[in-house]
Amino acid sequence: MFITNDMCFRLKEKYGTPLYVYSEEILREKCRDMKNLLPNKNVRINYSAKANTNLEILKIIREEGLDVDAMSPGEIYIELMAGFKPEQIFYISNNVSAEEMKHAIDRNILVGVDSLSQLETFGQINPGGRVAVRFNPGIGAGHHEKVITAGKKTKFGVQKEFIPEVKAILQKYNLTLAGINQHIGSLFLDGKAYVDGVKSFLEIAREFPSLSFIDMGGGFGVPYRKEEKPLDLNKLGDELDKVLSDFLKEYPNKDVVFKMEPGRYIVAECGILLGTVHSVKKNYDNTYIGTDIGFNVLVRPVMYDSWHEVAIIKKGDGAGTGEETATIVGNICETGDILAKDRKLPKAQVGDMVVAFNAGAYGYAMSSNYNCRLRPAEVLIDKNGNDRLIRRRDTLESLVQNFITE
């Protein structure tokens, strides 16, 4: 953990819990890992902002020299606010209205479309424009079927059999295909699926000889379990480098830029989530540690059966009273509201703290106001170890701000 146990209690005193806490140092380190993945190639890293759109996090990522992708006008809005230039933003749209496409086009942001029909829509509203098309290389990967975004069982991408139709629509509206993109899925710890996906994707790229960029997608995993090995970036970099070198031997545009879109890899490990133990009880054979980390705060365990390592931090001098197997639950009115099931943990007491690790990606970003709970606050620990509030906790007023009361 990048902060001490004492510091956890100090942050709790100062800001309350549940609280997301991020390390600037780790965030910067992860950005650099990705930037160094393919030193000999013309590469741009597009941070996939859906993983964490906190303004201050985005600013740091921009300072580190990364670009960004966007999934919605909302993400575009925050990214521009964080200082990204329109040409640094790639709007990867999926089933959007013509108005949404226009929103990006009007701001000189490149739009990627995800189907023939959306390519038609783009052509109609922006004839003669630049566009990108997302393909589905037929190979998917990911930690859960819900996040495998290529292959035969997903809504994403255009399959390669439709390349003639893509070409026909491009021609019909005099569009320039600036680039093609793919994303095979989220969280692999063995680079093989990514490399295979890239190989298959480059077959598609060959069909379009004057692309400015080829965006190979994200999905780079982090070890959520202690026993998991981190992704071997050196090996992945070497393998990819070779595949891309072979491709470039025959590809006419030697200046083509290769893009990657890591989300999780950049932000997961820089974030922890702090909570407070409010009750400890036995129900039949189970011990439940009741906390303020409901699934409105961190939904991943409930949504994907995801594992987050957790720790109990004892109040006071930390004197332990042994270990027990317990289930950490939240304060939401559903039985499924489980953060960590049947874990061997120090015996917890009211007032202890709980930490969930690797919470920086898809944590706050997927939080909600379910049960009219307030979304948590976020704090950044800067390079000098100082803490700074980077998002206020919701308030009761913010819960009702959209009601019409007149």
Using rule CB under 6 A, residue 186 touches ligand LLP: yes
Task: State how far the alpha carbon of 50 is from the alpha carbons of 42, 57, 62, 324, in Å.
Answer: 25, 12, 15, 37
Residues in contact with ligand LLP, counted by CB under 6 A, come to a total of: 22
Q: Which residue is nearest to ligand LLP (CB)?
A: 263
The DSSP secondary-structure symbol of 108 reads T
Residue pointed to by tokens 């680039």 = 179
- What six digits make up the tokens of 98? 């013509």
Q: How many CB atoms lie within 10 A of CB 98?
A: 14
To the query of whether residue 31 is one of the catalytic residues in this protein, the response is: no
The DSSP secondary-structure symbol of 373 reads P
Stretch that binds ligand LLP, among 48-56, 312-320, 329-337, 344-352 (CB under 6 A): 48-56
Q: 137 with 195: CB under 8 angstroms?
A: no
Stretch that binds ligand LLP, among 216-224, 308-316, 342-350, 384-392 (CB under 6 A): 216-224
Helix 98-106 to helix 116-125 angle (10° resolution) is 60
Minimum CB distance to ligand LLP smaller for 314 or for 375: 375
Q: Give the Cα separation of 278 and 288 in Å (integer).
A: 11
Minimum CB distance to ligand LLP smaller for 11 or for 101: 101
Q: Give the Cα separation of 118 and 93 in Å (integer).
A: 9
Minimum CB distance to ligand LLP smaller for 183 or for 314: 183
Using rule CB under 6 A, residue 358 touches ligand LLP: no
Contact letters for ligand LLP, residues 133-172 (x by CB under 6 A)? --------------x-x-----------------------
Stretch that binds ligand LLP, among 168-176, 180-188, 352-360, 374-382 (CB under 6 A): 180-188
Contacts of 74 (CB under 8 A, 6+ apart): none
Stretch that binds ligand LLP, among 43-51, 170-178, 234-242, 395-403 (CB under 6 A): 43-51
Residues designated as active site: 333
Residues that bind ligand LLP (CB under 6 A): 48, 50-51, 69, 92, 147, 149, 183, 186-187, 217-220, 261-265, 300, 304, 362
